[in-house]
Amino acid sequence: MFPSISPVYCELVMKLVWQLSRAIEYVTGIMAYMGGIVIAFMVGMVCWDILSRKIVFGHGVPWTLEVVEYGLLWFTLLCAAWVLKNDRHVRIDILLAHFSSRKQSILNMFTSIVCALACLAVTWYGAAVVHRFFVSGELMPTILMVPKYVPYLIIPVGFALLFLQFLLKAGQYGAQWRKRADDVDVFASDEGR
């Protein structure tokens, strides 16, 4: 019914997917480290602002709040793909716990695909907004007056990496589902003997 696929072609595709997944994981790790640097910088900024206001100068650094606001957005999206990769996110599995491991894999694969599509939509829209701000040259109406695209630049980048990470997760859940299907078939054939 279906044309046969060459084993050499399958092996080549699997190597490519493996290399791409390693590259995505590498970039995810680098972005998580960058997120750590951002949060450390924000903590330092807030501490300096408090010290300068209460002890040193009698007034704080006027742009601390603005930098911390941008830093929170950047920190969140720099680390989000790492959190997903390592399953460190909040997961509500009250319903999922009542299903077999095979059905859990199918549901997890489905939700990963849906989340990947949502991340792709945010990436697309975020890239369009950042491009519009870049072309227009708009500035933020704040103390620092940074170009408007700078704080929002992390949105398409972070969500693109989340998109890729959700695709990897969907593939992992699909592999678990296939493996569990093979395990069930092995047990079923053993019972027939």
Tell me what pLDDT residue 96 has.
Answer: 79
Confidence of residue 75 (pLDDT cuts 50, 70, 90): very high
- The Cα 61–Cα 52 span in angstroms is 7
Which residue matches tokens 């975020």? 126
What is the structure's pLDDT at 32?
A: 95
Residue 139 per-residue DSSP state: B
Residue 6 to residue 12: CA distance in whole angstroms: 10
Tokens of 149: 């695209």
Q: pLDDT tens digit string along 129-161?
A: 999 999 999 999 999 999 999 999 999 999 999
Q: Give the tokens for residue 38.
A: 């951002």
Output the pLDDT for position 119.
97
- Residue 170, pLDDT score: 92
Q: What are phi and psi of 147, to 5 degrees?
A: -55, 140
Mean pLDDT of the chain: 87
Nearest to 28 by CA among 89, 88, 78: 78
Compare 186 and 123 and report the one with higher pLDDT: 123
pLDDT band of 181, cuts 50, 70, 90? low
Contact (CB, 8 A) for 181 and 100: no
Which residues lie closer than 8 Å to 27 by C-beta, 6 or more apart?
161
> How would residue 11 be classed by pLDDT, with cut points 50, 70 and 90?
confident
Among 156, 103, 159, 168, which residue's Cα sits nearest to residue 129?
Answer: 156
pTM, two decimal places: 0.83
